Amino acid sequence: MSISKRCSTAPTLFKRLKNYFINRRGREALPVRLHWRRLYVLPSKPGLFFFLIGSTMMLAGLNFNNNMSLMLVFLLFGLAQVILYKTFFNLKNVVIDQVHAAPVFAGERYTLRLQLLAPTDRYQIQVKMDESVDTANILHQSGQWQLAADAEQRGYQPLPRLKLLTRYPLGLVTVWAYCQPKATVLVYPRPEQPCPSFAHHGGVEGPDSSVVQGDEMDDLRTYQSGDPIRDIAWKKSAQGQGTFVKKYHLKQGKELCFDYSQLNLKDIEKRLSRLTAWVVEAERQTLTYQLKLPQFDSGMGRGERHYHECLTALAVFGPGGVS
Amino acid sequence: MASQLSTKQVFWIVLAVVVAVLPQLYRLPLWFAPMMTVVIAYRFYVQVKHIKKAYNIILMMVAIAALLLIVYSQGFGLSREISVTILITMTVLKLLETYRQRDALLVVMLCYFVAMTRFLYSQDLVLVMYLLLSAWVTTHALAVINYQHGSAWFEKKQLKASIGWLAMALPFAVLFFLAFPRLGSPIWGSPDIFGEGKTGISDEMSPGSIIELFMDDSPAFRVTFGSNNKPENNQLYWRGPVLSEFDGRTWTRHEFRRSRGQVAYDRQAAIIEYGIEMEPNGRHYMFGLDVVLNAPQGSLMSPTSTLFSMNKVNQLKHYRLSSAVTDRLYQRLPQYQRKWLLDFPEGLNLQTQIMIKQWQATDDSAYGMINKALNWFRTEDYLYSYSPPALHSNEVIDEFLYESRRGFCEHFASTFVVMMRMAGLPARVVTGYQGGVDMGDYVLVKQSDAHAWAEVYIDQPDHELGGYWQRVDPTSVVSPERLFRGSGNIIEQRRSFFDFPWLRQTREHLDRYRFRWNQWVRDFNVSKQQALFDAIGIQHRDGKVLAVILLSVLAASGALIFSWLWWRQRPRYNNLQQWYLRFMDLFKKEPAIYARQSAGMEAVTHSIVEQYPGLKKSVNDFQQCYLRIRYRNEQLTPADRRRLQHFFERLKKDVKKRYHSQSRS
């Protein structure tokens, strides 16, 4: 579950204000340089313990006027000061250079690849995206991170907020920064599973394709929701043993057509899901296919490019896909 | 849960603990070292064999067992010893459950505390160096727990980094040390409980008891005389406890409940003033040159002319004294005191008693007796020796005088005083130190300079005080060099396996630094801080001024560290990269182009030409020149620089022209 979702279900005033403050820069076009003004600095838990031990030591040193104890304590406090700056400089001026996520189907996890740049070597920078964490170094001016998140909705989905965090070198101080990159991940609709058989939506029939239209049981199959009404074998169905539709023999070279308007399903998402499944299946079987959506026609074709064109059209179709 | 730490991390954690605990091992119970060895061995075994953490209940039992052992060997109560032992034991036992980073950080941070507790016992210069090393090891362990730069166990880069952080922390530490407000007196507990106690001269003396001190070359106190008024070494008798009660074997001190009354001394005696910096001895005695005139503040002068501090001397103590350099002190001797001072075990040491009786028959005067006794020591073959045969019988005086005939100061002083008492002269033993090493601007008196001598009361009825105490040092007739060269230098025989002259000299030489160290750092207190503030012109030290000072120290050291780190981590470009940056600078106001900086020269030129075809020629010229040099993989030559400059200027002009035309249109 994403942070934003949790917040929307139980938005306490504090959390809303906090998120409002953190997100005040809005979505930023990459590359984003982490200017010192956007870094947050606070002691970490071990840092607080360090401070506690130091204070106890100082009390003992002061009480017994033990100068060397005091010197050691002040040395430790000085060390904390040095570490504070060290940690700060470890994140300062880091550039979030680019993010990239390959398109996935809804319901899968997508992998976000992130590249950070810095003029000098930086160590142990953690990047958090929701619950996914990755730690890496910036060596020779660049470093790569990999994060994963659930793709829930189809369309061009905005990335969740990134949190860059470092405690290097001693873990006494946490320095972090937030960034919402103006980048998206393309999520295709969830393909229906198991993949239903192809329906006859017209399309160009190849020369050696034969459509068997009879009432024999062999040439019929049971009705599955969404089959065109005109394909229903009425006679057979009237016998009361179920609803049957005419089966079409598919042969190599058959050109398929998947038409949104011919699908007999009410829910848009279900229609898209079925079409996606067909596109995936057709591509897998290396068939030639055509996808027809309102205001989109892919034309006959196959191959990587055609495939992605179709899936992208499905992803951004209608009101569900955010673009 | 198996260990989440790497073997290297465990190694550094263990090293930090061992280094922190080691200097305290000598005062921990006997079972501690074996226990620590077992714990460490077990932890490594577990690490190598990937064994899971022991059950909590077992760890709890181990901890309770260790606590019981502590109570058994050190008693029960809230004392320094016990609380420090508990802290150290628990730190070591914590290793058993150090499997995660969180626990590891905890243990390592506790090491700082453990290291600090050692300072409660001593603040010696050498120890300070060691504990700085400990702080370094601990800091490095922290760094290794957080991130390992390499697999080598001693990663040079990381070791250097951690020592660098401590070095950067040093200015802050020193400034804060100087400016931080101090307490005049402790809020909790008295300095008697917590302090750097160390054995010195005790208030008892039995045959062989001083011998331990002879083995100890650590400093007892240091004396700074004014300009050129240091007396000769044979006059440096540093008076300590006076022992007047003798049970036949052991000398003990008589407790007086009042201070010294009226005294007088020879008019010719030189009066000298000097300062003493006394190392803590965990007792009340203070030492001064015989005869001390007045007790300094915070101390008492007992009727035996010994100085007593109000509190135990548990920290470095400074005081100023003035003394009359004389071996004769006029003082009234009350009748009841005379009785003690003549007391000796009547039925014992008959042989000596007979000899004294014979001496009395020839010359009954006090000085006659003293001279006879000293002559006896001189003419009979008595030997000054560190390893005299032990005296076992009840009659130690007879046994020493007629059988063993070998001994050191305490034997001679003790025997001499008993002889005087047998002759009817009130006498007592004085313990303290004799001599000292001249270190130039101060005199170092070591524990091994411990000495014992005698005082005999001589009646002088015509004086208003009725008599005087005469110092007699029987050791000086047996071994006259003792007074000039110190005990350590007159005996050929080595005191211990490690007793070499060069080592002794090195230690004496090192003491010079210790002295400075004590003066400037170890003994920095409220009054010295006040003097420091006065010196830099800050007169009022109320809370506000102090807060301002501390904050400015914080800000100054912060700025110092910040600028140093900023300078260190600034990006360093080679010459060609700088040309690229200058090139990019021309397009600072074009976000679309500037954003492509990281994509490289070709990509940037491409987008420039796309956006501004008018710049095509000058951009391409510059690019070609740049790339040719870039791929030649050599240093920039002056010719290159000229060429780059030429193309750059042209490009700059074109870019400017374009801006002008844009603004006009």
- Which residues in chain B have their CB less than 8 angstroms from residue A167's CB? 146
Mean pLDDT, all residues of chain A: 82
Q: What is the pLDDT of residue B15?
A: 95
Give B165 to chain A, closest Cα distance, Å: 6
Q: What is the pLDDT of residue B560?
A: 87
Per-residue pLDDT of B178-234, as tens digits, reads 888 877 666 665 544 544 555 667 777 876 677 767 777 778 889 988 776 788 888
The DSSP result for B571-624, as a single string, is ----HHHHHHHHHHHTTTT-HHHHGGGGG-HHHHHHHHHHH-GGGHHHHHHHHH
* Nearest alpha carbon to residue A94 among A207, A178, A217: A178
B558 to chain A: closest CA residue: A81
Q: What is the pLDDT of residue B495?
A: 63
Query: Across residues B640-654, what is the average pLDDT?
Result: 85
Q: What are the sequence ranges of the domains in chain A? A: 3-188, 189-207+252-323, 212-247
Are residues A119 and B571, on separate chains, in Cβ contact within 8 Å? yes
Q: What is the pLDDT of residue B541?
A: 65
Q: C-alpha A161: how far from its chain's center?
A: 12
CA B442/CA B445 separation, integer angstroms: 10
Are residues A67 and B523, on separate chains, in Cβ contact within 8 Å? yes
Residues 559-598 of B with CB under 8 A from A: 561-562, 565-566, 569-571, 595, 598
Per-residue pLDDT of B377-390, as tens digits, reads 888 888 887 777 77
- Which residues in chain B have their CB less than 8 angstroms from residue A53's CB? 109-110, 112-113
Helix axes A268-284, A304-315, angle to 10 degrees: 170
Mean pLDDT, all residues of chain B: 83
Q: Which residue has the higher pLDDT, A315 or B537?
A: A315
* Buried residues in B249-277 as b, exposed as e (16+ CB within 10 A): bebebeeeeeebeebebeeeeeebebebb
Are residues B166 and A79, on separate chains, in Cβ contact within 8 Å? yes
Flag the least confident range among A120-134, A203-217, B4-18, B597-611.
A203-217
Res B57 pLDDT > 60: yes
Per-residue pLDDT of A90-119, as tens digits, reads 998 899 988 999 999 998 999 999 999 888
CA B593/CA B416 separation, integer angstroms: 104
CA B260/CA B295 separation, integer angstroms: 10
* Nearest alpha carbon to residue B90 among B26, B154, B36, B45: B36
- Which residues in chain B have their CB less than 8 angstroms from residue A63's CB? 183, 186-189, 194
Q: Does B431 touch chain A (CB under 8 A)?
A: no
| B230 DSSP assignment | P
Q: What are the sequence ranges of the domains in chain B? A: 7-148, 155-184+525-570, 204-508, 575-664
Res A1 pLDDT > 50: no
Q: Does B9 touch chain A (CB under 8 A)?
A: no
This prediction has a pTM of 0.71
Per-residue pLDDT of B240-263, as tens digits, reads 899 988 888 888 888 887 888 888
Q: Does B114 touch chain A (CB under 8 A)?
A: no
Asked whether B482 and B476 are in contact (CB, 8 A), the reply is yes
CA B283/CA A308 separation, integer angstroms: 91
* Buried residues in B303-338 as b, exposed as e (16+ CB within 10 A): bbbbbbbeebbbbbbbbebebbbbbbbbbebeeebe
Q: What is the pLDDT of residue B12?
A: 94
**Under the phi-then-psi rule, with left for phi > 0, alpha for psi from -120 to 50, and beta for the rest, what region is B147?**
beta
Q: What is the pLDDT of residue B489?
A: 61
Q: Does A211 touch chain B (CB under 8 A)?
A: no
Q: Does A126 touch chain B (CB under 8 A)?
A: no
Give B88 to chain A, closest Cα distance, Å: 14
Which runs of E-coded beta strand occur in B439-582? Answer: 443-446, 450-459, 467-472
Query: Across residues A148-171, what is the average pLDDT?
Result: 90
- Per the listing, tokens 């009410």 go with A266
Give B624 to chain A, closest Cα distance, Å: 25
Are residues A78 and B169, on separate chains, in Cβ contact within 8 Å? yes
Per the omega criterion (within 30 degrees of 0), is the bond before A245 cis? no
Are residues B128 and A169, on separate chains, in Cβ contact within 8 Å? no
Res B653 pLDDT > 80: yes
Q: Which of B187, B565, B571 comes nearest A85 by C-beta?
A: B565
Q: Which of A57, A79, A123 comes nearest B113 by C-beta?
A: A57
Q: Which residues pair with A132 in a beta bridge?
A: A129
Are residues B169 and A170, on separate chains, in Cβ contact within 8 Å? no
Looking at this protein, which amino acid is placed at residue B37?
A: T
Give B214 to chain A, closest Cα distance, Å: 29
Q: What is the pLDDT of residue A201?
A: 66
Are residues B147 and A123, on separate chains, in Cβ contact within 8 Å? yes
Give B470 to chain A, closest Cα distance, Å: 42
Where is A45: in which H helix or E strand? helix A45-63
Res B587 pLDDT > 90: no
- Which residues in chain B have their CB less than 8 angstroms from residue A79's CB? 139, 165-166, 169
Query: Across residues B64-81, what is the average pLDDT?
Result: 83
- Which residues in chain B have their CB less than 8 angstroms from residue A124's CB? 146-147
Give B83 to chain A, closest Cα distance, Å: 13
Residue B659 structure tokens: 């801006």
CA A100/CA A111 separation, integer angstroms: 8
Are residues A53 and B561, on separate chains, in Cβ contact within 8 Å? no
pLDDT band for position B633 (50/70/90)? low
Residues 60-89 of A with CB under 8 A from B: 60-79, 81-83, 85-86, 89
Are residues A74 and B177, on separate chains, in Cβ contact within 8 Å? yes
A–B: how many Cβ contacts below 8 A?
153
Percent of chain B with pLDDT over 70: 91
- Which residues in chain B have their CB less than 8 angstroms from residue A77's CB? 169, 172-173, 176
Q: Which residue has the higher pLDDT, B195 or B593?
A: B593
Q: Which of A64, A75, A120 comes nearest B170 by C-beta?
A: A75
